[in-house]
Amino acid sequence: MNGTPRTLNRVLILLFGLLVLTLGIVLVLLASVPAAGTWWRSWAPTAAEAVGAVFQGSRVPGTSVSWLWLLMTVAAVAVVLLMIWWVAQQGTGRRDLVASTGPDGGARPGGEFAEGEVPGRVSIAATAVEQAMLAALAPRKDVLGTSVAAVEFEGRTALKVRLVARQGADPAALAAAVEGLVDRFEIVMGVSVPVLVHITSGARSRFSRAERVR
C-alpha cells in the first residue's frame, strides 16, 4: 500500500545474489581445484595484456587518455544516479495526515458556518491515530507491538495497521478488535478510510517473558 518498487527490489536482489554466488563459486574453485588455479595463472596475464592493448589503442587523439575510461566514467555516474533514484523510491506513498478538512468549510450541512465559527482547517495526524490505538490495545496480553501508518491507496489515504502478536494469539480475535477500534475512530474523526491489518509474529514473541495465549 505504498510506492515501494517491490518487484524491482526483488529483481535487483536476485541479480546481486546470482553475482555473489557466481563469484563465490569461482573463488572456491580457484582455491580448491588445482586445475582451475593452473588455468587462472596461465589465462590472467594474457587477458591483462589484451585489455591493456585495447586501452592503448583507444586513446583520444592528442591525449594519453583512452575513451574507454571516459565511457566507464559516464557509466559509473549513471549507476550512481540510478542508485540515488532507487533509494528515493523506497517507502514512498506515506502520508503524515489521515484526514484534513478544507479551510473554508463550516460544520453545518452544505458547509455553512454556524454562529461563532471561523474559517479554519482540522487535520488528523497518523501519529495521533497510532497513539490512540496503542493506548486502546495496551491492556491486551496477546499484542506485543503496534504501528500505524497513513499511506496512499488508489488515490486516497488509507491506514496500514501492523500488529506483533504473541505466540499462540488468535489472529481472528485481533482482527476483530482492530476492526472495532477503527469503527470507533471513524465515528470520532468523522471520516471513513480503508484499513489494511497486518498481523505478524517474530523473535520478540518467542522471547517475551509475559504469559502466552493458547
Quote the pLDDT of residue 192: 76
119 pLDDT tier (thresholds 50, 70, 90): low
Describe the chain by its helix, strand, coil percentages, rounded to 5. Answer: 50, 20, 30
Beta bridge pairs of residue 200: 164
| pLDDT surpasses 50 at 143 | yes
Beta carbons of 147 and 162 less than 8 angstroms apart: yes
Percent of the chain with pLDDT over 90: 12
Tell me the pLDDT of the chain averaged across its residues. Answer: 77
Q: Which residue type sits at 122?
A: V
The C-alpha cell at 132 is: 490512540
Quote the pLDDT of residue 17: 93
For range 37-53, the mean pLDDT: 88
**DSSP helix/strand/coil, 180:** helix
| CA–CA gap between residue 86 and residue 90 (Å, rounded) | 7
Beta carbons of 188 and 163 less than 8 angstroms apart: no
Quote the pLDDT of residue 112: 59
Output 7-15 pairs: Cβ under 8 A, ≥24 positions apart.
8/86, 8/89, 12/86
Task: Please state the pTM of the whole predicted model.
Answer: 0.47
Among 22-36, 55-69, 82-96, 150-164, the range with the most confident prediction by mean pLDDT is: 22-36
CA 182 to chain centre: 24
**DSSP helix/strand/coil, 121:** coil
Beta carbons of 83 and 102 less than 8 angstroms apart: no
For range 174-201, the mean pLDDT: 81
CATH topology of domain 97-207: GMP Synthetase; Chain A, domain 3 (3.30.300)
For range 192-204, the mean pLDDT: 74
Which DSSP helix (H) or strand (E) runs through 191?
none
List the domain boundaries for the chain. Answer: 6-89, 97-207
Quote the pLDDT of residue 212: 36
